[in-house]
Structure 1
């Protein structure tokens, strides 16, 4: 039986691993983190992603745990400009974005992967891949021990700084946009602007900057603003004060409380020069 190694236990790696297991392929996922991050990180599942996840025939809770968001409302100077629907109302599968925190999705996918016979090794960092006549000998460090294991195929699902891509000498073009964004998952305790921030997405444009409100789950809202900040390493109270001040400056009298997660993010565009190689040096 063919054996496949997937490096990276994010949504892509776990989805691929589950599908391979369902097709009868023996599959191992290696993840360098010791434990899963609790931060929500990505959160929007578009129609095609939802369709692919349902092919897994696994109970990952999209219908019961995700918040269905059917439209984004766009404002200028607090005046409503348009309602942008995410799909045709006649197509129930494609008319919503499912707001589903990545941390929750990864947990559900890990359960699906393991229940289909997959194996996850955490705290496992690949550092060398040797090509052999029939496959690849993978060298990795796992819980302070150096180990080696043979696989027929190795798949890199390990993100922007992919070690698999580096070891395979695959170039990656990358460009960064100039804007930074402050992203916060928090409770909106009060808001003077009369909007349903737990049902629809809202984007506010003004001369002072950009604000987006989007449901992240049934209690929390994701707030995104453009910012000159380069990091969010200050105390929670300092970040909260900054966020409330910036929202007020942009014409939104919003009181934010209980910040679950806050981070500064930049936006990048990356594209690998190729997606497969037969030999890893």
Structure 2
């Protein structure tokens, strides 16, 4: 069988070339680490389910040298309009959440991936290999040997890596190969989201509607677009743009221009956490390590924060002398510290995501969530606390 052309050895093999794997590759190559990124897909994903980048993740992206371009190509969401049914309660500002990035950046995942891929090419041409499917991993001689085949053609190769990072998503081959449990479940909730021309008065603000029929969320996107997200009623069979527009109008009073729909998709939500994030030479990051509800936009960001901490951990494991400055050791990261720090962050994100999910349930007039929403908007201490939680403060391990 014809062999796939790859180097025989690398310091770090990253399996999965989505946003988390690409960012980790950039961070490692910037620090002089030789790495290969093996991506099963032959082309970038055309969909942009994830779009919000929170301040802690922007700081990691700045380290990789891509935050500036992403900000230029995105929309800064500096606040959110909050409604109960069709009554506006007020605005939650994000100005005080972070002195460096006092906003959530709205930029499609496709743009984020393309910017990261271009940056990786600048740093290490050839580091990303598309169409490479990792089918097996074997620990041997102080490293890990990966068996790789091409998605088309079946050519094979074998690559030895000192460390391997699984960034290959919730169905991670490497996690399953290592027999690492991935515990969790699914929520019964279903949602529908779509991108339309923005005809609202919200400008660059997000909007949140807590209603008797279920939550409605609205976010600005680049190019004069706006994403609408609605919680679906139970047993709803048809799910098209007209359905979404009808629910938005019924619950909020806003008329979505159906004819401008560019993309839409129903989605369910689940929660999962890996038993461990590190075993022998293998590390887990991103969706391979944890799945959180997309309500709240934490998933991709949590993976970016994993990448930021893991890059430092791997650098120490490969080159400990880098942490000896003027004869004094700097704070030393470890494999176990990475696991403890990132697993704790994931647990916090899961708790926040669960609260966000419950907030999305139908909220009748008597429901206590209505009083809580009023307090979040009108009581400064509550407003600051929830603004920090919504922007993922405290999940960067610092």
Aligned to 1:88: 96
CA change 1:110–1:229 in 2 (3 A) is farther
- Cα distance in 1 for residues equivalent to 2:163 and 2:236: 38
8 Å CA contact 1:45–1:97 kept in 2: the answer is: yes
State the match for 2:79 in structure 1. Answer: 71
Task: Say if 1:60 and 1:108, in contact at 8 Å, map to a contact too.
Answer: no
More strand by share: 1
Alignment of 1:54-65 (within 5 A): 54-58=62-66, 61-65=69-73
Per the alignment, do residues 279 and 155 of structure 1 end up closer, same or farther by CA in structure 2, a change over 3 Å counting?
A: closer
Report the Cα distance in structure 1 between the residues aligned to 2:57 and 2:105, rounded to whole angstroms: 10
Whole-angstrom distance in 2 between the partners of 1:116 and 1:262:
35
Secondary structure, in 3 states, of the residue corresponding to 2:210?
strand
Kindly state the Cα deviation for residue 147 of structure 1 after the two structures are TM-superposed. Answer: 2.1
Distance 1:69 1:104 in 2: 17
**Residue equivalent to 1:151:** 161
The structural deviation recorded for 1:82 is 2.9
Residue equivalent to 1:14: 22
Per the alignment, residue 183 of structure 1 pairs with 193
1:155 and 1:251 map into 2 onto residues whose CA distance is 44
What RMSD, in angstroms, separates the aligned Cα atoms of the two structures?
A: 2.3
Structure 2 stretches lacking a partner, 5+ long: 1-8, 283-398
Alignment correspondent of 1:172 = 182
Contact 2:216 2:248 in 1 (8 A): yes
Partner of 1:261: 263
Distance 1:168 1:230 in 2: 39
User: Distance in 2 between the 1:275 and 1:230 partners?
Assistant: 37
1:212 aligned onto 2:217? yes
- Secondary structure at the residue paired with 2:23? helix
- Tell me by how many angstroms 1:267 deviates: 2.1
1:11 & 1:224 partners in 2: Cα distance? 23
Contact 1:7 1:13 (C-alpha < 8 Å) held by counterparts: yes
Q: Whose helix fraction is larger, Structure 1's or Structure 2's?
A: 2
Paired residues in the alignment total 270
**TM-score, structure 2 normalization:** 0.63
Shift of 1:87: 4.1
Paired with 1:174 and 1:262, the residues of 2 have a C-alpha distance of 27
